[in-house]
Amino acid sequence: MIRVGVFLFAILHAGIVSATVVKKTGSDLCHPEQSSYYDRIRSFIPFPTVDACLESGGRLPEGLDLSADDSQTGYERSKFGYGWSDLDEDGDDSRQEALIRQSTVPIRLSGARGQIVHGRWIDPYSGNIITIGSKADADHVVPLKFAWDHGADAWTDETREQFANDPRNILIVSASLNRSTITI
């Protein structure tokens, strides 16, 4: 777990995560990291995803292909465990623990399994307030595919599962915004 934490710390403090911002130029072109112009762009409006940039009226540069084939890298979500795990065996999986920890008000539970139905979360990407548990997603700060492409492919299954469920790597975000993103 310490190695996973060190990896997460190193990525966050090296600025790698911020480099994945999509840059919208004054000519309304949305440049993800794959754009050959990405590193040269100094004046831009940042967006968390390509979809968010496109929805703001932007467009992709001509000839830019974002249809990356995950099968070429060997990445599969299941290699990080199946869904959210309850690693500390307290009855709450990592998503529930993130919902509880990140709510700005006491959460409200429902049902025999104690599903979180209400709380108050602030989506860090949009600034929107989320109050219904089912409208909130748990998102990885360092995406699992990014981790895979940058060394997690060499980790053990246990280490990958710990990383995917590490509370320092989970943010509560708007489900609709999170599900509208594409993998780039």
- Residue 109 structural domain: 2-75+92-179
Residue 8 lies in a domain: yes
Residue with tokens 């409208």: 135
Residue 115, beta-bridge partner list: 110
Residue 83 lies in a domain: no
Question: What is the bridge-based pairing of β-strands 30-31 and 136-140?
Answer: unpaired
Residue 80 lies in a domain: no
Residue 86 lies in a domain: no
Residue 84 lies in a domain: no
Q: What is the pLDDT of residues 70-91, one digit of tens each?
A: 445 688 888 999 889 998 999 8
Residue 108 lies in a domain: yes
- Structure-derived torsion over alpha carbons of residues 68, 70, 75, 81, reported in degrees to the nearest 10: 100
Q: How far apart are CA 49 and CA 95, in angstroms?
A: 22
pTM check: above 0.75: no
pLDDT cut 90: percent of the chain above it: 45
Residue 58 lies in a domain: yes
CB 83 within 8 A of CB 144: no
Higher pLDDT, 62 or 172: 172
Work out how many domains the chain is built from and give that number: 1
CB 68 within 8 A of CB 184: yes
Residue 184 lies in a domain: no
Q: How far apart are CA 174 and CA 139, in angstroms?
A: 9
Q: What is the pLDDT of residues 92-116, one digit of tens each?
A: 899 999 999 999 999 999 877 778 9
Spell out the SS3 assignment of 103-154: CCCCCEEECCCCEEEEEEEECCCCCCEEEEHHHEEEEECCCHHHHHHCCHHH
